[in-house]
Amino acid sequence: MAEGRFQVRRRAGLRLWLSAAWLILLVMVALFAPYIASKDPLEQDLFAGRLPPFWVHGADASFLLGTDSLGRDVLSRIIFGTRIALGVAVVSASFTCVIGAALGLLAGFYRGWVDVLVSRFIDIWMAFPPVLFSILLIAVIGPGLFSIILAIVVIDWTRFARVIRAEAMAQGAMDYVASARVAGRGRLGILLREILPNVLPIIVVLLTLEMGIAVIVEAILSFVNLSISTDDPTWGGMISEGRTSIHQAWWVLVFPLITLFLTVLSFSQLGEGLKDRFDPVLR
């Protein structure tokens, strides 16, 4: 029994550390991109187009992961793409979390007309097809980093609000809330001091999941050319460009795809790992 529990914790620890390691690496790469990248990500070299990665015959060792059809260094573009991917992930997920969690907590704890208002609003909101919604939004306010972040926040706050509303409602029915009220604590005090700490583990999981989702959404929007300008290196943009030359130069597509995959996976595993570690009920 004790041994089994120990093993679960060790596995959870491994998951946590692996994903954290990858994400810390990405943060470092994003911060020090100009020092790490060997080439200018925008520099074209038409004589060095579609060079394969270093271990394939015919490669140029100065382009480690090869070049795309315009002769731009794939590795350097991935490195600079990290900045946009992480920036979008952190900023949009944070805003999504704050808006969604606040509304969810209010609706779930105060109930009554606040709940009716928020819940119906969520129902209506979720009836819009999300991809169409974001494309429309970007068509109206124009493409760019700000539009992507706004699109993610505007679409995904409902995910937070729904889950956190349900959890706040469950916590609000507990006896400890009644005890706090008898002790003389006000509604807001109860919400912040009693309910919030119990909802926090779920918020953390949702937040990291949302960062993963934001990376994907940014990639999707780049893929359909609605992200920032096509010259700027984004993982989604690279995948989109690589798709056209998949038979001649697979590396243009595959390397950004692997990076994207590992990043999204790491975000979700980080969330689960953090929950296992810090939720006192599970601990």
Partner 1 sequence: MSFLEVRNLSARVKGGGPLLRDVFLTVEVGEVRGLVGESGAGKSMIGKAILGILPKAVEITGGQIVLDGTDLLTLPPAVRRMKVGATCALIPQDPLTALNPSRRIGAQITDRLVDILGWTRQRAEERALALLGEVQITNPARVLRQYPHELSGGMRQRILIASAFAAEPKLIVADEPTTALDVTVQKQILKLIAALQARHGTALLFVTHDLGVVSKVCQNLSVLYAGKVVEDSAVADFFRAPKHPYSAALLAATPKYTDPFAGLQPVPEAVIAAVRAEVEHG
Instruction: Using CB under 8 A, list all residues that contact partner 1.
Output: 111-112, 174-176, 178-186, 189, 193-194, 197-198, 200-201, 279-281
Give the residue with the Cβ less far from partner 1, 10 or 187: 187
Give the residue with the Cβ less far from partner 1, 142 or 189: 189
Mind spelling out the 3-state secondary structure of the chain?
CHHHHHHHHHHHHHHHHHHHHHHHHHHHHHHCHHHHCCCCCCCCCHHHCCCCCCCCCCCCCCCCCCECCCCCEHHHHHHHHHHHHHHHHHHHHHHHHHHHHHHHHHHHHHCHHHHHHHHHHHHHHHCCCHHHHHHHHHHHHCCCHHHHHHHHHHHHHHHHHHHHHHHHHHHHCCHHHHHHHHCCCCHHHHHHHHHHHHHHHHHHHHHHHHHHHHHHHHHHHHHCCCCCCCCCCCHHHHHHHHHHCCCCCCHHHHHHHHHHHHHHHHHHHHHHHHHHHHCCCCC
Give the residue with the Cβ less far from partner 1, 72 or 165: 165
CB of 96 to partner 1, least distance (A): 23
CB of 204 to partner 1, least distance (A): 12
CB of 273 to partner 1, least distance (A): 18
Give the residue with the Cβ less far from partner 1, 10 or 193: 193
Give the residue with the Cβ less far from partner 1, 6 or 176: 176
CB of 118 to partner 1, least distance (A): 17
CB of 188 to partner 1, least distance (A): 12
